[in-house]
Each structure stands twice: as structure tokens, then as C-alpha cells.
Amino acid sequence: MQISISRMAAAVQPSATLAAGAKARQMKAEGLHVFDFSLGEPDFPTPEHICQAAVKAMQAGHTRYTPAAGIAELRAAVARLYQKTYGIRYTADQVIVSSGAKHSIHNALAATVGPGDEVIIPTPYWVSYSDLVEMTGAKYVLVHTTHESGFKMTPQQLRAALTPRSKLLMLNSPSNPTGTVYTRQELEALADVVLDSPLAVLSDEIYERLVFGDARAVCFASLRPELAERTITISGASKTYAMTGWRVGWSAGPPHVIKAMGNVQSQQTGCPCSVSQYAALAALDGDQECVEKMRREFEARRDLVCRRLSALPGVKCPTPGGAFYAFFNVASHFGRALAGKKVADSLSFCQVALESAHVNLVPGSAFGAEGYARLSFAASREQINGGIERLEQLLK
């Protein structure tokens, strides 16, 4: 007799971005050259001073369990970061370190929502949000935004989505997959709606250091004095410091929520990786020129990607203000045959692009936005040019 699978596990879908990356790796293993733009992972090495801090931590014997919520030094460093950057005061007890920002989001949801609650999510949204909500037993409510609105939810849309069961709003600025960056005024307008309701806010700010041009990242909790008690701010080291595999994320928020998240985490993982925590401490307290160097290169790649994608037949590519994704409209090709294969939607478009052009993209349907494809420009300019040339040949 087979072991039965739980209802929760059966309902959860595998991450679309990770699945796309796995398919590309399989093709590469078969000897094919694939232009892989599926994963949101900086292609830069982790800066040397951060790696050296990890080595020193190991040599010093920091290889044992840490407090469940993370070492006090790192929690204090995160608190200093928010004071210095956004003028918002957190104590170390208002910060918890987790095994990546995704783990932080899971813990925040597990600590605040459950069956009968509703969580409001603007679309397009990062693929894991809806499944993470469902894992708590809560229900997600999608609010659709458009290219014309800059992929931004309006205060009127937020107000219309509210019901007696609304418990939490999930915001992501800069955004994955669109690169949208809300202005301070736009966030203040949403904050006014939040403060007129019982809503709490989970603000995913993992791309806060990767903004371009006139765009500026804003910490939602800093907008109004009352918001700090209503907001859980999520960020981490992965995108800013090219530390995806180190798995260090953090949350800052009201003490009782952070304590509850710590209780959840203590039963899940025990603690985040000890060596990674000391590496993250060096990242936060060290020279930040490495961050600016990577940011400038991402901005140059953004300009290259948008210019080249916009020149493709039938493609519309809005210019992202942050993160490292181009979210471009390919709907004009639906109904066509590309490389002898019929394209009906974003999934089949991306399948044809991978199988025929060896270009790996993620379909917009995975992000709640049919008609689009996402290209991560966390890849070299040579890779970007080569991949878009393949797309150009396919579409012509």
C-alpha cells in the first residue's frame, strides 16, 4: 500500500522558475548550448571579503547551532541598516534571520494567517507567493494590474479587494517579475488604505539595492509612524551581495510577530546556517562598493535587454525600474506557428523558445499574467546578445 500524500502537498505546485532552470540544466547535460534566462540569480561571484569572513568563522569554531532567530550581531546589523537607510528604528529583538527570504516569507505567513483568512496579492506576482499562502490554509486574492498602469495596484483596487476576511497584503517593490518600483507617493496612497482597514502588510523588499535611473526603493514600514506595527519587512543577502546559495534572509517587524516567527523557525530548521550568518554580517558591515559595481552592471544590462527586445517583431518590453528582469509581451505571436509548432499561450511560447531556439524563459502565466514572458538579465552581455539573436531568428 502506498503512502498517501497530504492534501497540502498535493495542492502545492513546484516552483516554475526552478523547474525551468532544471530543464535547461538537463539540456546542457545532453551537450546542448542553452541561453538560460530563467533564474533570478546574480551571475557574479560572492565578493571576496564575504567569503573570507566565512573562512574565518569556520576557523574560529562558529560551526555550531546559533540562537533560533540568528546571531545577535547580525540581527543588530540588520537593525542598523534600517536606521541608516530608512530612518526606521528596530531593536535586535525585532529582527529574525532565516534561511533565505523565501523562508522568511513562509515564516511570516505561518505566524500571521490561517484558514478563513484572505491574503491580497497584486499581479504579476512572484511564483511562490500563492503556494506559500495556500500552505497556511489561507486563501489568496489576486488584484490584476496592467502594462498601462505600470503593473502597479491602485488604492481604489486595494479598497475594492477588501473583505471582512482580509488579513494581509503582500507587496513587492522592486518587483519580481516586472521590475516595477512604486514611488513614495504611490506607496503612501496604499498606506492610507491600509491604515483605514485592519490589514497587515508583508513587504518583500529583497531587490531594494537594485534600482535604476530615477527609481528609488522605499521601505513601506517607514512611510507612516503607525505602519511599523502593521508591517513585516522582508529582505536578505541573496540578490544584493550575490549570496543566493548562502541562504540568508531576514524579517523586521513588531516584536510579538518576530517572536512567533522565531517559535515557528525553532521547530523547523533550528537556526539558519551559522557560517552564512557571519558571512552576511561581513556583507552588511563591510565596504558597499561591490554592491554599487553590480548595480551599475545590471543597469547596463537592463538597457541592452530592453533595446534589443523592443526591436524584436511583435514584442513590447516595458523598462523595469529595478531588480533584474525584463517582463515582455509576446501575445502577438499567439496563434502563430514558430519553428513548425503552434503557439497558443505564454507556456507554449516558452516551450518553443527552449526546444527550438535553446532560449530558456519563464512564462508569464506562472506569475499570474498571461501573454508575457520573463527574461532574467542576471547573465553576461555576451549571453544576452546571443540569446536574443536566437529569439530574433525564431520570431522572424
C-alpha 71/C-alpha 186 separation (Å) is 36
267 and 298 share one domain: no
C-alpha 82/C-alpha 92 separation (Å) is 11
Quick check: bond before 42 cis, omega within 30? no
Range of the domain at 201: 48-285
User: Domain end: 222, 255, 285, which one?
Assistant: 285
35 and 94 share one domain: no
123 and 212 share one domain: yes
What is the value of pTM for the model shown? 0.95
259 and 344 share one domain: no
User: Domain end: 237, 266, 285, which one?
Assistant: 285
Q: Is residue 245 part of a domain?
A: yes
141 and 274 share one domain: yes
Q: Is residue 130 part of a domain?
A: yes
> Can you give the pLDDT of all 396 residues of the chain as single tens digits?
899 988 888 888 777 777 777 778 888 888 889 999 998 899 999 999 999 999 999 999 999 999 999 999 999 999 999 999 999 999 999 999 999 999 999 999 999 999 999 999 999 999 999 999 999 999 999 999 999 999 999 999 999 999 999 999 999 999 999 999 999 999 999 999 999 999 999 999 999 999 999 999 999 999 999 999 999 999 999 999 999 999 999 999 999 999 999 999 999 999 999 999 999 999 999 999 999 999 999 999 999 999 999 999 999 999 999 999 999 999 999 999 999 999 999 999 999 999 999 999 999 999 999 999 999 999 999 999 999 999 999 998
User: Domain end: 285, 311, 334, which one?
Assistant: 285
Q: C-alpha cell of 71?
A: 546571531
64 and 173 share one domain: yes
CATH number of the domain where residue 111 is located: 3.40.640.10
177 and 203 share one domain: yes
CA 288 to chain centre: 21
The beta strand positions in 88-191, using DSSP E, are 95-98, 118-123, 139-144, 166-172
Q: Is residue 1 part of a domain?
A: no
| Nearest by Cα to 125 from 343, 303, 364, 388 | 364
CATH number of the domain where residue 350 is located: 3.90.1150.10
211 and 358 share one domain: no
Number of domains making up the chain: 2
41 and 53 share one domain: no
Coil, helix or strand for 13?
coil
Q: Is residue 359 part of a domain?
A: yes
